[in-house]
Chains A and B, each alone.
Chain A
Amino acid sequence: MEQNPRNLLFPPQAQSVTSELSNNVVLTTVNDLYNWARLSSVWPLMYGTACCFIEFAALIGSRFDFDRFGLVPRATPRQADLIITAGTITMKFAPVLVKLYQQMPEPKYVIAMGACTITGGMFSTDSPTTVRGVDKLIPVDVYMPGCPPRPETILDAIIKLRKKMGGEDFRERYETIQQTHRYFSVEHKMKSLPDVLVKEYLRMESRQAPPAVLAEAIEMRTPVDLGRLKALETELANGDRPSEYSGV
């Protein structure tokens, strides 16, 4: 007696209709699709200030290969979604970091990499210039401890960031991208000085010829007249030199 196998209650083959269906039909929401596309192409800024970046550079290389996460390092903040603060941030560098962060388009993410950018690290006790944690300057999404963290740790941090991105709802994006005013909140009392990076470094007037006192001493191999040097110093101080030249 012929029996149609489709009518069997428990057919010997695996049922194929539903698996074919799941291979060919994707059920999702626009939100998930949007998140999936976003977290699959997190482009980090090529950014490193200290030894942490050595580990980050190892991650870019073929052994750890972070391209498989869709991470393509960008040389400009305008194209970057993510900044991994790889390395110590000093107070002198802090305005640059804030500017880089502000230049990144929304939505943007920050991973604080290494002990220095989390708490100041080994510089947190007595350094006169280290910023104690980069979260004083920019909002941090993922803190990645280590000194420096291994490339695997960076991958772990990126996976955690991807989880965070996957859970976001783009209907709430206008609530999450509000300015938090975490910097420039206190009126500072530092005095501003004229800009030093004027791109005239080698062309500046004082570089064209040595002062006569020094030129004579070099040429004639005679001792420098310290009294004349004092006079030279006051002369220079009258120029466009900052007042700190005059000493302690």
Chain B
Amino acid sequence: METDPQNTPASEEALAPIEPGPCALWLAGQNLPHESLGTASDGIEMISVRPEDLLAVAGALHADGWNYLRLQCAYDEGPGEHLVSVYQLTRCTDRAVRPPEVRLKVFLPREDPRLPSVYWIWKAADWQERESYDMYGIIYEGHPNLIRILNMEDWVGWPLRKDYVTPGFYEVQDAF
């Protein structure tokens, strides 16, 4: 019973070092700067990348066969915390069964959230980066058409940030 991993105390589990996944090991082999974040609850490997290294890492992964950007999204860690831009990649092949997936995260300072766009690697990033820009104000440098996609063109503020305050809605609507 002592060797049963189910009975390991939670504190010991938290202290266990993060095991880099296969993608992180590959990146380490290529000398590409990154930081492994372990495995998400859904079993997908997570890797943190600095904004200036994103294009180098993403370009290398694309050349390695991660040819499909499943999703690009963003989230806010909380008031005063980082904004995070997330990229989930997979390999699209013929007759694929459970293709591998990896999740890249770029943690951005709240005051100046800017990072290079991956539009030139995966064209699928076009509208999704526009949505992340629209909702969180993350600036994707080099994106060909970084304008608001869901909100009104003249909307002020970034509605999905945790510290966003909805303006007095009825005045806005009466004006409309």
Contact = CB atoms under 8 A, between A and B. Distances in A.
Interface string A221-248: 1111110010011000000011011011
Interface in A92-132: 92, 94, 126-129, 131-132
A245 B176 CA distance: 24
A8 interface: no
A193 B59 contact: no
A188 B175 contact: yes
B144 to A, nearest CB: 4
A128 B173 CA distance: 10
A contact face: mostly helix, strand, loop, or mixed: loop
B117 interface: yes
A21 interface: no
Given A196-B153, A233-B139, A244-B147, A221 B166 contact: no
A217 interface: yes
A233 B166 contact: no
Interface in B93-131: 112, 114, 116-117, 119-121
B38 interface: no
B139 A214 contact: no
A62 B98 CA distance: 38
Contacts of B77: none
A190 B167 CA distance: 14
Interface of A: 91-92, 94, 126-129, 131-132, 136, 186, 188-193, 196, 201, 204, 206-207, 210-211, 213-215, 217-226, 229, 232-233, 241-242, 244-245, 247-248
Given A132-B170, A226-B114, 15 more contacts: A91-B173, A92-B151, A126-B166, A136-B173, A188-B176, A189-B175, A196-B153, A201-B145, A213-B142, A214-B116, A215-B120, A225-B52, A229-B142, A247-B139, A248-B158
Interface of B: 30, 32-33, 50-56, 58-60, 112, 114, 116-117, 119-121, 137, 139, 141-142, 144-148, 150-155, 157-159, 166-167, 169-170, 172-176
